[in-house]
């Protein structure tokens, strides 16, 4: 299974993705680690990435998805802002990708971004992400007002129900 935890910057996709990977006993990958140095520098300077900038990044993620699926699955934290980006990622997988969509208010996203340090994505870039964001009509949509632990619990419960498994007592 390939599970992609998606959302704009500040939505908690890395935190939730790491915890979900642990709960599912799958490896975790962060799409931020697949950006070129030029893309990271561009974002560090406050310049939004274009579709062209993202081409190599999406190709690297697609190659990873193909490899991870063959190895038994993975959880990927990825913004996946536009439907055409998600289509590239889905096309790399032999089976349907499971999408966890983290969504919340701009105010909450900004407050979270202000508390983190050392990340190249700065608060002013959030507006460009929100402008590009196309909420998917599929996947498990969760509110980021819940704790990461609760979001993982909800996701695991949903996956168990999909597979017809009973939750452990």
pTM over 0.75: yes
3-state helix, strand, coil in the chain (%, to 5): 55, 15, 35
CA–CA distance, 9 with 107 (Å, rounded to integer): 12
**Domains (range + CATH), the chain:** 2-160 (3.40.50.300)
Nearest to 79 by CA among 132, 36, 118: 132
Q: What string of pLDDT tens digits covers the 169 residues of the chain?
A: 999 999 998 899 999 999 999 999 999 999 999 999 999 888 888 888 899 999 999 999 999 999 999 999 999 999 999 999 999 999 999 999 999 999 999 888 887 676 655 544 555 678 888 999 999 999 999 999 999 999 999 999 999 998 876 554 4
Place of tokens 């997988």: 93
> 3-class SS at 140?
strand
């Amino acid at each position: 299974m390939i599970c992609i935890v998606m959302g704009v910057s500040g939505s908690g996709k890395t935190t939730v993705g790491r915890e979900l990977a642990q709960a599912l006993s799958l490896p975790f990958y962060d799409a931020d680690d697949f950006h070129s140095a030029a893309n990271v520098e561009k974002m560090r300077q406050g310049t939004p990435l274009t579709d062209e900038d993202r081409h190599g990044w999406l190709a690297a993620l697609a190659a990873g998805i193909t490899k991870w699926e063959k190895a038994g699955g993975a959880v990927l934290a990825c913004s996946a802002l536009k439907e055409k980006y998600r289509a590239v990622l889905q096309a790399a997988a032999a089976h349907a990708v499971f999408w966890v969509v983290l969504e919340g208010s701009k105010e909450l996203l900004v407050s979270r971004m202000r508390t983190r340090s050392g990340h190249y994505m700065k608060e002013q870039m959030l507006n460009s992400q929100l402008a590009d964001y196309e909420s998917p009509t599929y996947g498990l949509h969760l509110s980021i007002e819940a704790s990461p632990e609760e979001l993982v619990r909800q996701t695991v419960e949903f996956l168990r129900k999909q597979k017809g498994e009973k939750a452990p007592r």
